[in-house]
């Protein structure tokens, strides 16, 4: 399976108000392994970045002034993405910006070039409800080092997200859990399934059973009747008859 982990940097937060893409970083995963076939480009947006965005990515107008315009890299980007499953953190943001860029060039929308989109932010919220699920938070949670990340960069963030995604989905070779799919070894060969360890059952001793009954007697006395445990076990015994 060919997957592309994608991230962008932009001049601001809203493509509808004229904000533009200034950097695209893509990392290719082939059968859940980094292939090294990456795509990266800085882009001249022909406008300044907003102050807040500049503080995040640090890509100045001067630095971007001699970089290619989006029209110059669009065909190469579309060819690179063609048919791949794309992994993005907070996908609506990046896809919205890319759709706006494609629209300016009368190119079909982003989803028409790719084989599907996985939003790792949505997935993380499902797996870790109520917790912080930013890329930095996920790096901490899954032990992915981001110590070298002082500013946001599209390629660096895509590389980090690729590691996070592999950690999030470790133990499965597809987006759906298929127990019939064989595991692959580090060399890419199908490995033999490991036998399950023997389940050890420890029976309670006579002394432990006596202590348990004494505890239940005390509970019966406190509730002035039959405690919940004895009521449940009686129901279970009746159901098995």
Digit-coded pLDDT (tens) for 95-141: 999 999 999 999 999 999 999 999 999 999 999 999 999 999 999 99
pLDDT at 190: 47
pLDDT in tens, 5-15: 999 999 999 99
pLDDT at 178: 38
- Say yes or no to pLDDT of 161 above 70: yes
pLDDT at 199: 62
Contact 98, 43 (CB under 8 A): no
Take residue 239 and report the two structure tokens written for it: 């159901």
pLDDT at 241: 53
pLDDT at 151: 72
Contact 67, 46 (CB under 8 A): no
Rounded CA-CA distance 88/58 in Å is 21
Rounded CA-CA distance 127/140 in Å is 15
Comparing 73 with 170, which gets the higher pLDDT? Answer: 73
pLDDT at 177: 34
Contact 94, 88 (CB under 8 A): yes
5: left (phi over 0), alpha (psi -120 to 50) or beta: beta
Rounded CA-CA distance 60/22 in Å is 10
Comparing 183 with 56, which gets the higher pLDDT? Answer: 56
pLDDT at 175: 38
Comparing 80 with 176, which gets the higher pLDDT? Answer: 80
Active-site residue list: 152
What is the rounded average pLDDT of the residues 214-234?
A: 73
116 - beta bridge partners?
85
- Say yes or no to pLDDT of 179 above 50: no
Least confidently predicted of 1-15, 41-55, 101-115, 202-216: 202-216
Average pLDDT, the chain: 85
Contact 49, 57 (CB under 8 A): yes
Rg (CA), the chain: 27
Measured CA to CA in angstroms, residue 215 lies from 203, 206, 227 at distances of 18, 14, 10
Rounded CA-CA distance 37/66 in Å is 25
pLDDT at 231: 67
């Amino acid at each position: 399976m060919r997957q592309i982990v994608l991230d962008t940097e932009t001049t601001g937060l809203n493509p509808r108000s004229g904000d533009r893409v200034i950097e695209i970083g893509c990392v290719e995963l082939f059968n859940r392994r980094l292939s090294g076939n990456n795509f990266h480009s800085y882009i001249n947006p022909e406008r300044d970045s907003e102050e807040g965005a500049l503080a995040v990515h640090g890509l100045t107008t001067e630095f971007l002034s001699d970089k290619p315009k989006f029209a110059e890299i669009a065909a190469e980007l579309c060819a690179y993405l063609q048919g791949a499953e794309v992994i993005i953190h907070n996908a609506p943001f990046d896809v919205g910006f890319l759709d706006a860029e494609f629209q300016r060039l009368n190119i079909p929308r982003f989803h028409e070039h790719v084989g599907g989109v996985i939003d790792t932010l949505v997935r993380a919220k499902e797996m870790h409800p109520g917790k912080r699920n930013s890329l930095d938070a996920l790096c901490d949670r899954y032990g992915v080092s981001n110590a070298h990340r002082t500013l946001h960069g599209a390629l660096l963030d895509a590389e980090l997200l690729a590691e996070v995604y592999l950690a999030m989905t470790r133990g499965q070779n597809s987006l759906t859990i298929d127990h019939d799919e064989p595991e692959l070894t580090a060399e890419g060969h199908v490995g033999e399934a490991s036998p399950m360890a023997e389940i050890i059952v420890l029976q309670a001793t006579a002394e432990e059973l006596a202590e348990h009954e004494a505890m239940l007697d005390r509970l019966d006395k406190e509730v002035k009747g039959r405690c919940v445990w004895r009521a449940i076990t009686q129901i279970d015994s009746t159901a098995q008859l």
